[in-house]
Amino acid sequence: MRKFELSSPASLMEAFELLERHGGRGKLIAGGTDLLVQMKSKIVMPEFVISLLKIPELSGIGKNGKGCKIGSLAKHAQIAISPVLRERWSLLASAAQKVGSPQIRNWGTIGGNISNASPAADTAPPLLTLEAEVTLASKRGERRLPMESFFIGPGLTALTPGEILKEILIPEPPAQSTWAYLKLGRRKSLDLALASAAVLLTVDLQTKICRRARIALGAVAPTSMRAKETEKFLEGKTLDEKTVREAGEKAREECRPISDIRASAEYRRDAVKVLVERAIKKSLGIPIPPTGI
């Protein structure tokens, strides 16, 4: 690994000053579960590394009115067991539990997971279905973006030079909502997603009609993506076996996977069909076969 200078600012303003001083020669680090791998592989070779771990404004998980607020330094293990999130946002908590290994979950942060902008990031599909927003901070002030606008491409986000991801804001899901997250890997644990699906449905309990649908897919497009055509198809329909099966087929047609060393595009399309069908059923309390990780 190339030698570098490490700084540990105690405030956001101090971090902004360091970013400005070092320009493109500096990199931000939190848990380091992505950056250190890239540095050891010489994919990136920063001269300066700025640790965010001592900045209190970036920590914490708590209520924010009727919604919740998650600091970018919140670790996956904290998210997985958070009483606040398990109350109304257990979709995100369940996805955090599937990230890497216990060691990774105890050190890796949600801010790093989404800022790395991997199409296979486990927390991205749940955040998209929950219609989360991010707060981006810089010396110029703060701005908020929908999560859907934050992802631009593989490894690319809307963060501009000098900006830091401060927090994630998630509104309360509508009443009578139900959800599920499924992830398919090559093995039963410690693996990146070959494909994943997060489903958030608002269902009339008496008629079983879907009033609102939010579906997001991972690892099957340049970024994690909302399956908006599939959502439109479901809304207003009774969630019977035929409708669920057709929704899976819609999602299969809507995704845009590539073939790589881990799986072919065709396999990923078929996986999306099965994952979306089973995620809908799981969210409705219908038993499904053992699926993925």
Residues 60 and 113 in one domain: yes
pLDDT in tens, 66-90: 999 999 999 999 999 999 999 999 9
Termini Cα distance of the chain: 33
Q: What are phi and psi of 182, to 5 degrees?
A: -125, 140
What number is the average pLDDT over the span 233-257?
98
Residues 75 and 164 in one domain: yes
State which of 51, 69, 85 marks the end of a domain: 51
pLDDT in tens, 267-293: 999 999 999 999 999 999 999 999 998
Q: Which residues pair with 233 in a beta bridge?
A: none
Residue 272 has which token pair?
């999306």
Residues 60 and 166 in one domain: yes
Residues 181 and 273 in one domain: yes
Tokens 């093995």 locate to 187
pLDDT in tens, 102-153: 999 999 999 999 999 999 999 999 999 999 999 999 999 999 999 999 999 9
State which of 170, 204, 236 marks the end of a domain: 170
Instruction: With beta carbons less than 8 A apart as the criterion, state whether 211 and 175 touch.
Output: no
Decide if pLDDT at 248 tops 90: yes
Beta-strand runs (E) in the chain: 5-7, 26-29, 48-51, 61-64, 67-71, 133-138, 141-146, 151-153, 156-157, 164-170, 177-184, 195-203, 210-218, 225-226
**Which pLDDT score, from 0 to 100, does residue 134 have?**
98
Residues 185 and 240 in one domain: yes
Count of residues making up the chain: 293
Pairwise CA distance, residues 142 & 140, whole Å: 7
Query: Could you tell me if residue 293 is inside a domain?
Result: no
Query: Could you tell me if residue 154 is inside a domain?
Result: yes
CATH number for the domain harbouring residue 19: 3.30.43.10
Query: Could you tell me if residue 216 is inside a domain?
Result: yes
Taking the whole predicted model, whether its pTM rises above 0.85 is answered as yes
Decide if pLDDT at 1 tops 90: no
- Domain hosting residue 139, numbered range: 56-170
Residues 156 and 187 in one domain: no
**Which pLDDT score, from 0 to 100, does residue 153 have?**
95
Pairwise CA distance, residues 270 & 210, whole Å: 24
* Angle subtended at Cα 163 by Cα 157 and Cα 164, rounded to the nearest 5 degrees: 85
Pairwise CA distance, residues 167 & 68, whole Å: 10
Question: Which band of pLDDT confidence, cut at 50, 70 and 90, is reported for residue 240?
Answer: very high
State which of 170, 205, 225 marks the end of a domain: 170
Cα dihedral: 249, 253, 258, 262 (round 10) = 0
Q: What are phi and psi of 270, to 5 degrees?
A: -65, -40
Residues 60 and 133 in one domain: yes
Residues 193 and 155 in one domain: no
- Could you give the number of structural domains in the chain? 3
What number is the average pLDDT over the span 216-223?
97
CATH number for the domain harbouring residue 252: 3.30.390.50
Average pLDDT along the chain = 96
**Which pLDDT score, from 0 to 100, does residue 24 have?**
82
Tokens 């958070």 locate to 82
Residues 64 and 96 in one domain: yes
Pairwise CA distance, residues 24 & 5, whole Å: 14
Tokens 């749940």 locate to 126
Residues 152 and 257 in one domain: no
pLDDT in tens, 23-61: 889 999 999 999 999 999 999 999 999 999 999 999 999
Q: Are strands 195-203 and 177-184 parallel, antiparallel or unpaired?
A: antiparallel
